[in-house]
Structure 1
Amino acid sequence: MLPITENTELLPYGQLATRQWLLTQGVEVYQIDNSLKSRKFESLARGVVARPGVPVEWQGVLASLYRMFECPVYVGGASALAQHGLAHYIQLQTVVDIYAAQPAPSWISKLSCNVEFRWHTTVQIWDAEKLLVANSLKLVPLHQGCWLLASPEQAYLELLAKVPSAISFEQADNIMQSLVNLSPRRLDVLLHACKHVLAKRLFFFFADRYQHAWRNKLQPKSYDLGAGKRSVIKGGNFNKAYQITVPEAFSG
């Protein structure tokens, strides 16, 4: 193995690594300490190091998580839609939505990347095994690495799981209006993998409003939409088709 200061595979420029992860890769404690003392490494947060000279941007953080985590860690939800050019109101420069099955590492909130990392656990949204079949995560190339980006289909369902707590009903509706080219085949797999009943009901509610070409290829009865009424908006009007309350402006 190359000395750690020369091994850019373990710690590429523009990315980061935790001490714990480096130790699992065969790096010795003294090597990390010596690299910090000689300023060949710099400390970004407690237990987190990077190579000096190249700032670690949010893409580099995602590429680092892709290397270090056992489960997929990806940009999803509103941020993924913004990356695809489908959510213009979202300022990706200030917030990046990260999705993973594991909890957020404590150090991620300590990084200075000029963005806020908003971490979402996927356990309540996705059936992990079924989600893998969807093949809905895209590898985005980065210098000496890559990071993961959710497809528009997956990202929109993730966004709907945040209505109305983080995303307004009106914003979700505006985005659906622009989702002309979704893949019905991918949507079919994702809707089967999605465990969030309200997100699926909202998906079909908004899809019915715009009747894009792909809508006719999906039948709501094919998916588990749960039972009973669900309240989206307090004091809203009741939609019988999907058993949800919606704002008065969206009824009728």
Structure 2
Amino acid sequence: MSANKSSKLNRLLSSQPSGVVLCSSWLVEHGYSLDLQQRYKKSQWFESIGAGALIRYGDQVDYLGGVYAMQTQLELSLHPGGKTALGLQGKAHYLELSPKHAQLFGAQGEHVPLWFKKQDWSVNVKCTLSNFLPPEVGLTELSYKQFTVKVSNPARAIMECLYLAPKSQSLLEVYELMEGLNNLRPASVQQLLEVCSSIKVKRLFLYMADKANHDWVQYLDLNRVNLGSGKRAIVSNGVYITKYQITVPKELESME
């Protein structure tokens, strides 16, 4: 390998952390042609993990290394959300230490790369695409291994849980998670409530925050939050909560 090509390879190796995926299209944009990528693979500097995706040869890469690539190289809004985001930030202590599932959220219309969907990440990764919250609001940087990824902050994560409830997320479990969030920043919660387009999510969020007696609730200005009109039956045969005009499970309302 010539000195020029060697320094180019060294630049790549030193600029990108280990433990992450490198997208072939991104490499091409940065001067690493498909032909050059092939030579790197033949020389065992890199190996393929699917069409359009490489990792360092022998590197241990998990789904967050794939998320890093989607966020920083493909500029997608896909991010760990819901229970997964809470677990990554230590806000879900009773959840299993080695989760078998990971929940990602992204904007409606985004395309999850085939290499990410087909890769065996040793966890079942589910991607939910929705615009009920703007993709840029309520995210925080999480340091992981040698890189950082954007994940939902706790307030957004709870709203994402509520978006999935009650069909694919237990409301009782969400309430247990909400109980632990006694130090949310009112300004962050206020912003999320104002931009959230799901009436169901906003009413359930406020109902649970009220029920948990969190101090930060008193600092919210609900006059700036559109809570819609009319009743919402979240479940059938539940308990009607007059203040928020929602019907919730009897087991949830009876929780201390």
Fold equivalence (TM over 0.5): yes
Q: 1:243 maps to what in 2?
A: 245
Matched, 1:100 2:101: no
SS in 2 for 1:206: helix
* TM-score relative to the length of structure 1: 0.87
Q: 2:183 maps to what in 1?
A: 181
SS in 1 for 2:247: strand
* Cα drift, residue 72 of structure 1: 3.4
Instruction: Please give the alpha-carbon distance, in whole angstroms, between the structure 2 residues aligned to 1:224 and 1:22.
Output: 45
Equivalences for residues 224-243 of structure 1 within 5 A: 224-243=226-245
Q: 2:198 maps to what in 1?
A: 196
Instruction: Please give the alpha-carbon distance, in whole angstroms, between the structure 2 residues aligned to 1:50 and 1:7.
Output: 12
* Cα drift, residue 4 of structure 1: 3.9
* Cα drift, residue 145 of structure 1: 2.9
Q: 2:82 maps to what in 1?
A: 77
2:35 maps to a residue whose letter is Y
* TM-score relative to the length of structure 2: 0.86
* Cα drift, residue 146 of structure 1: 1.6
1:24 maps to a residue whose letter is E
Answer whether contact 1:10 1:22 (CA < 8 A) is retained. Answer: no
* Cα drift, residue 178 of structure 1: 1.2
Q: 1:220 maps to what in 2?
A: 222
Q: CA distance change for structure 1 residues 217 and 245 in 2, over 3 Å: closer, same or farther? A: same
Q: CA distance change for structure 1 residues 165 and 88 in 2, over 3 Å: closer, same or farther? A: farther
Consecutive aligned runs of 4 or more in structure 1 exceeding 6 Å deviation: none
Q: 2:92 maps to what in 1?
A: 87
Q: 2:161 maps to what in 1?
A: 159
Q: 1:116 maps to what in 2?
A: 124
* Cα drift, residue 250 of structure 1: 4.0
1:39 to 29, 40, 44: 44
Matched, 1:56 2:61: yes
2:8 maps to a residue whose letter is P
Q: What do residues 170-204 of structure 1 show as CA deviations (whole Å, max 9, x unaligned)? A: 11111121111111111011111211211100011
* Cα drift, residue 224 of structure 1: 0.9
Instruction: Please give the alpha-carbon distance, in whole angstroms, between the structure 1 residues aligned to 2:147 and 2:252.
Output: 45
Answer whether contact 1:95 1:117 (CA < 8 A) is retained. Answer: yes
* Larger displacement relative to structure 2 (58-67 or 169-178): 58-67
Instruction: Please give the alpha-carbon distance, in whole angstroms, between the structure 1 residues aligned to 2:143 and 2:180.
Output: 26
1:32 maps to a residue whose letter is Q
Q: CA distance change for structure 1 residues 230 and 216 in 2, over 3 Å: closer, same or farther? A: same
Q: CA distance change for structure 1 residues 214 and 98 in 2, over 3 Å: closer, same or farther? A: same
Answer whether contact 1:4 1:27 (CA < 8 A) is retained. Answer: no
Matched, 1:209 2:211: yes
Q: What do residues 45-97 of structure 1 show as CA deviations (whole Å, max 9, x unaligned)? A: 22211111221123322222222132433221111111222223434532222
Instruction: Please give the alpha-carbon distance, in whole angstroms, between the structure 2 residues aligned to 1:174 and 1:93.
Output: 18
Identity %: 27
* Long gaps (5+) in structure 2: none
SS in 1 for 2:197: coil
Answer whether contact 1:79 1:90 (CA < 8 A) is retained. Answer: no
1:215 maps to a residue whose letter is V
Instruction: Please give the alpha-carbon distance, in whole angstroms, between the structure 2 residues aligned to 1:166 and 1:20.
Output: 35
Q: CA distance change for structure 1 residues 63 and 127 in 2, over 3 Å: closer, same or farther? A: closer
Answer whether contact 1:63 1:142 (CA < 8 A) is retained. Answer: no
Answer whether contact 1:41 1:51 (CA < 8 A) is retained. Answer: yes
Answer whether contact 2:103 2:125 (CA < 8 A) is retained. Answer: yes
